[in-house]
Homo-oligomer: A and B are copies of this chain.
Amino acid sequence: MSNNRYRFEALYGHIRAAFKKMGCNEEHASICANVLMSAELRGIPSHGIVRLKDYMLMWQEGRIKTRPDLRIVHETSTTGVIDAGQSFGAVAGTWAMRHAMRKASKFGSAWVSVRNSSHFGIAGYYSMMALKKDMIGITMTNANPLVSPTFSVDRFLGTNPIAVAIPAGEEEPFIADFATTPIARGKLAIKEREGKEVPEGYVQTPEGKPSTDPSIITRGGAILPLGSSYEHGSHKGYSLSAVVDIFSSVLSGANFGPFVPPQVPYLSLKENMPGKGLGHFFGVMRIDGFQPAEEFKAYMDQWIQTFKNAKPDNEHEEVLIPGEPERRNEEIYRREGIPVSDQIIEDLKEVYSALGLRFSL
């Protein structure tokens, strides 16, 4: 499968037009396109344009609404719950993060849990929103259950990512954005399509035995939590994933763990779901709530420079700061275009045809 390169602006325009045609208003269409394109730029195509077709099919089935009734259902000065009204996750996430940032600009910090939402793309996008206001951004989401708690064979948790963005001064910001599993679902799917084995520690069989077959998760197997085995601390990965799930769902009234609705149209919803839609969690803290902003930034620069200068082992040239590989990707892709597979371009054409739009990429 070949990968042609496309200009950011051209892809962005096409994606945005599709969201508009589905019924999103100007602002929401821009938000949705921004979130998917941010994943492409950062080199995480599993959360990029590839999602558009599924999003459209979910919208066609009425599982996502393009004119959502987003509202605050409970709040204090610095906490709150938002019901996203079955919106695109990107709309819910952007709205919630903005709300948290408004609260934090008054009170120093704020935390918002969201229910009745859907797949929101890369978690890092929302955390990074906080940077331009000199705030630390924190984002979590629960997801379609594919991960087993330590010692279990049940798929009770999603790959539940955490993203933390921290402003710096001269240096680029620190941006950690990671699934609480050894491998992300998207990367596992690629190995499966290529017919490749994976190392032990990624997946287990339906009986809970180690497996090296990535396709096992389509036959009742499960992804393991970060740590891979109990011996190597998978109960810590399980704990972390559980916290993400609880902050995203129990706080907001969204569905938790095994009940989180699938974000693909070919998997139907469970019956008797205890909550509403999928859940997210967002938080911000003003850096000047702790130190004068310039002092914090200077000290953060020192942190980053120190860790950049950590001595690499013999097999590597350098030690990376979280967020650095994605930043480098973005620089290259903005300059040289974004590689997109022919299959995804075909999907995009299909979406365009279904929506009655004229494709001209």
Task: Give the docked Cα–Cα distance between A179 and B250 (Å).
Answer: 25
Interface size range of chain A in the complex: 35 or more
One of A43-51, A225-233, A326-334 at the interface: A225-233
Known contacts A77-B77, A154-B310: A322-B178 contact under CB 8 Å: no
Residues on B with C-beta less than 8 A from A291 are 74, 81, 251-253
Known contacts A152-B312, A299-B250, A307-B156: A108-B76 contact under CB 8 Å: yes
Residue interface mask A106-147, B partner, CB < 8 A = 1: 111111010000000000000000000000000000000000
Task: Give the docked Cα–Cα distance between A289 and B78 (Å).
Answer: 8
Number of copies: 2
| Residue from B106, B152, B156 in contact with A313 in the complex, judged by beta carbons closer than 8 Å | B152
| Residue from B178, B240, B257, B306 in contact with A307 in the complex, judged by beta carbons closer than 8 Å | B257
Residues on B with C-beta less than 8 A from A199 are 231-232
Residues on B with C-beta less than 8 A from A228 are 227-228, 232
Residues on B with C-beta less than 8 A from A240 are 162, 176, 178, 240
Does A265 lie at the interface of the complex (its beta carbon under 8 Å from any beta carbon of B)? no
| Residue from B78, B236, B237 in contact with A78 in the complex, judged by beta carbons closer than 8 Å | B78
Task: Give the docked Cα–Cα distance between A258 and B303 (Å).
Answer: 10
Residues on B with C-beta less than 8 A from A2 are none
Known contacts A76-B286, A226-B227: A307-B242 contact under CB 8 Å: yes
- B-contacting residues, A205-253, CB 8 Å: 207-209, 226-228, 231-233, 235-240, 242-243, 245-246, 249-253
Task: Give the docked Cα–Cα distance between A287 and B76 (Å).
Answer: 11
Residues on B with C-beta less than 8 A from A251 are 287, 290-291, 296
A246 engages B179 (CB within 8 Å):
no
Residue interface mask A17-56, B partner, CB < 8 A = 1: 0000000000000000000000000000000000000000
B75 engages A233 (CB within 8 Å):
no
| Residue from B176, B182, B295, B302 in contact with A232 in the complex, judged by beta carbons closer than 8 Å | B182
| Residue from B74, B250, B285, B314 in contact with A207 in the complex, judged by beta carbons closer than 8 Å | B314
Residues on B with C-beta less than 8 A from A257 are 303, 306-307
Residues on B with C-beta less than 8 A from A76 are 107-109, 286, 288-289
Residues on B with C-beta less than 8 A from A285 are 79, 111
Task: Give the docked Cα–Cα distance between A290 and B179 (Å).
Answer: 25
Residues on B with C-beta less than 8 A from A303 are 245-246, 249-250, 256-257
Residues on B with C-beta less than 8 A from A258 are 306
Known contacts A78-B289, A227-B227, A303-B250: A311-B154 contact under CB 8 Å: yes
Chain A residues in contact with chain B, CB under 8 A?
74-81, 106-111, 113, 148-154, 156, 162, 164, 166, 174, 176, 178-183, 199, 201-202, 207-209, 226-228, 231-233, 235-240, 242-243, 245-246, 249-253, 256-258, 274-275, 285-292, 295-296, 299-300, 302-303, 306-307, 310-316, 318-320, 322
Give 10 A-B pairs besides A108-B111, A251-B290 with Cβ atoms closer than 8 angstroms.
A74-B291, A79-B290, A109-B111, A151-B312, A151-B315, A152-B312, A201-B232, A227-B228, A253-B295, A257-B303
